[in-house]
Amino acid sequence: MKDIRIFESHAHYDDDAFDADRDELISSLPDNNIAVAINVAASLGGVDNTYELASKYDHIYGAIGIHPSEVGELNENTFQHVREIALKPKMVAVGEIGLDYHYDDVDKSLQQEWFERQLTLARDIRKPVIIHSRDACEDTMKILKSNSFRGLPGVVHCYSYTVETARELLKMGYYLGIGGVITFSNARKLVETVEETPLDRILLETDCPYLAPTPHRGERNSSLNLPLVAEKIAAIKGVPYYKVVDQTYKNARKLFFNK
């Protein structure tokens, strides 16, 4: 029997959806082959909560950053706090950061400013980035391709753009985060992307409590559903399940732990 170790590259266990059973669920992950999970901050409150979770559980690590929809919380003082926590032990990435133009009333210039500031932070402290990009492909790519951030390691999580954009990101050295959406019946574009993306450039993720895979779509998601994502990727690429799990585990260790 192959040694199954799954690496969850993107979870939000500080979310209110886990208030009732957070400790029980997180404690159960290693017994269900989830060897490592990265809790990803999205807000200032999430920054502190992520650090606390990583300090409490051996198998939980943290990514520290402010989601584009929450950058209104940032100023020089609060950003200094983000930087201080990002430098703490077990904080392995800056994220999730990026651009989100999904809603009509967003302040695009403010999002871009803080995206660039947080990319600069990652560059300065030599940590990879976890990128959130929704309905903002052109501006995201423009910023990532700028000379200031060229060569910065990272992952574009919950990848949702075209195969063509994926090719560009792969050439730039980025990984693609693949989660429950790959199991949805309307995920044709993402399936095409996974078909073309080398397995050594894919990370497994849930984005839990969001985006639970089929047949649990609409329910609270957790890392326990990652085997369903890995099984779907294995079917798409025509490789054994254990190969997907093993390679994505190695990929995540290389990106986040430099091992």
Give the start-to-end residue ranges of the domains of the chain: 6-257
The dihedrals phi and psi of 225, each to the nearest 5 degrees, come to -90, 0
Q: Identify any residues that bridge with 100 across adjacent strands, giving them in sequence order.
A: 134
Q: What is the pLDDT along the chain (259 residues), one digit of tens a residue?
A: 468 999 999 999 999 999 999 999 999 999 999 999 999 999 999 999 999 999 999 999 999 999 999 999 999 999 999 999 999 999 999 999 999 999 989 999 999 999 999 999 999 999 999 999 999 999 999 999 999 999 999 999 999 999 999 999 999 999 999 999 999 999 999 999 999 999 999 999 999 999 999 999 999 999 999 999 999 999 999 999 999 999 999 999 999 999 8
CA distance 250 to 161: 25
Pairing of strands 175-178, 34-40: unpaired
Q: Does domain 6-257 have CATH number 3.40.50.720?
A: no
pTM of the predicted model as reported, rounded to 2 decimal places: 0.97
